[in-house]
Amino acid sequence: MLEYFEIRSLFGLYSYHLDFRNQEGWPLKFITGPNGYGKTTILSLINSLYTGQLHEFFSVPFDYMEFGFTDETMTFRQVYSYDSQKGTDDDTMRIPEKLEVTLQNGTEQSISFFLYGNDEGNEPSLKMYLYSKSGYYIKDQRLVRKISDLDKYQSEDVPAVDDNAEDLGRRLTAVSNQINETLQSMLFSSNGISDGEITQDDYNIRRECILRDASVLKKFGILHDNFTVFEYNSRSSAFLKTYIETIERAFADAEDFVAKLVTFSDTITDYGFADKDMEIHPGYGYRFRMKNDDKTILLPERLSSGEQHILILTYELIFKAQDDSLVLIDEPEMSFHMIWQLEFLKAIKKIMMIRHSRIQCIVATHSPQIFDSRWDMTVDLYEQSQKNREA
């Protein structure tokens, strides 16, 4: 977990110490402040560390930067050379020459990473360390995504909501196939029928649980509508024991995915898209139907920009961010009505709960409504800059 981030002389002016720990125990913090104080830049710097793109650090002026993790600290210091030829008038231009990197985790190890690949042979070990960290960045410009076509050696811009719908379709198909394969391989394997029998009461209780779970799987097209569970027959109790255990195991393998799927569906429903309902199925991932007599199908790219933002944020928080990763979100309030802004904190907490708080979220925002005016959950750049100027 990233517990704090410190930067000195950002843009040659701002120095911040941002504590990302939350007193409530939620791994969630909001960065606030007016335009121009560095919210997006800070997210980009953190993302550059997590993606190992250290060359990005040379594009941002700063003197010192420190990342405080739960068990270790990582610091970066920019070393400059000075070139009066590239300045104007009597000014001298500072040219970043290298980064001095220090990793401290019980024993201190110093690594230097130079600009333009002129290094001391330590860059690979630094990159290997960074690969152990997982991050996911949901940027403010998120409605369009560039997709590479390897066959045509080119890329094209596609609506992110369409790309996510295709991704969900693939995930649904994979889970459906997994359940079917488990049922077939276990029911018709050479292992035979389980030892022992099952009582009618035990079977009926477990059958009801399976039928309840099956109704959810059918709703999302993971199970075929004609799926059913045999009723109890005492003459087949040994077979039924194997039968019920097989179905339970198949469903258990999909339990985590289904829980995420239900949370995704419920969250979009709670936001209340105007006069439309979301449908989920392996064939198309997700789509929408208008609440008219014709039940007109509406593709995701035809949604309003606010609805698309909600879909992208919700889907990627639930499905795309890996466990134990840091998720960075820039301006989630874009195109949000005030009511939707007020819904955000409740929604993100629900998502983090279904993720078992195995993701940490840092959110940059201009809107107090996004965090429901919970200023105790924020770090404010303007406030820190003013205190530093007065000191």
Please tell me what DSSP assigns to residue 196. S
The better pLDDT of the pair 7, 22 is held by 7
Residue 278 pLDDT > 90 = yes
- pLDDT band at residue 90, thresholds of 50, 70 and 90? low
Q: What is the number of other CB atoms lying within 10 angstroms of the CB of residue 348? A: 23
- Average pLDDT score over residue span 123-140: 81
Report the percent of the chain where pLDDT is more than 70.
87
Give the C-alpha separation, 185 to 199, whole Å: 25
- Average pLDDT score over residue span 243-261: 93
Among 98-112, 209-223, 350-364, the least confident range: 98-112
pLDDT recorded at residue 103: 81
Element (H, E) at 363: strand 359-364
Is the pTM above the cut of 0.85?
yes
Q: Which residue ranges make up each domain of the chain?
A: 2-134+322-390, 144-306
Give residue for tokens 């940027």. Answer: 139
- Six-digit token string for 370: 């996004």
CATH architecture of 2-134+322-390: 3-Layer(aba) Sandwich (3.40)
- Average pLDDT score over residue span 249-261: 94
pLDDT recorded at residue 113: 59
| Helix/strand/coil for 92 | coil
Residue 296 pLDDT > 60 = yes
Name residue 146's beta-bridge partners.
157
151-170 pLDDT, tens digit per residue, is: 556 678 899 999 999 999 99
Please tell me what DSSP assigns to residue 12. T
pLDDT recorded at residue 190: 47
pLDDT recorded at residue 101: 85
- pLDDT band at residue 79, thresholds of 50, 70 and 90? confident
339-365 pLDDT, tens digit per residue, is: 999 999 999 999 999 988 789 999 999
Residue 267 pLDDT > 60 = yes
- Six-digit token string for 328: 């960075």
Average pLDDT, the chain: 88
The amino acid occupying position 14 is Y
Give the C-alpha separation, 191 to 86, whole Å: 78
379-389 pLDDT, tens digit per residue, is: 999 999 988 87
| Helix/strand/coil for 284 | coil
The better pLDDT of the pair 98, 110 is held by 98
- Average pLDDT score over residue span 44-69: 91
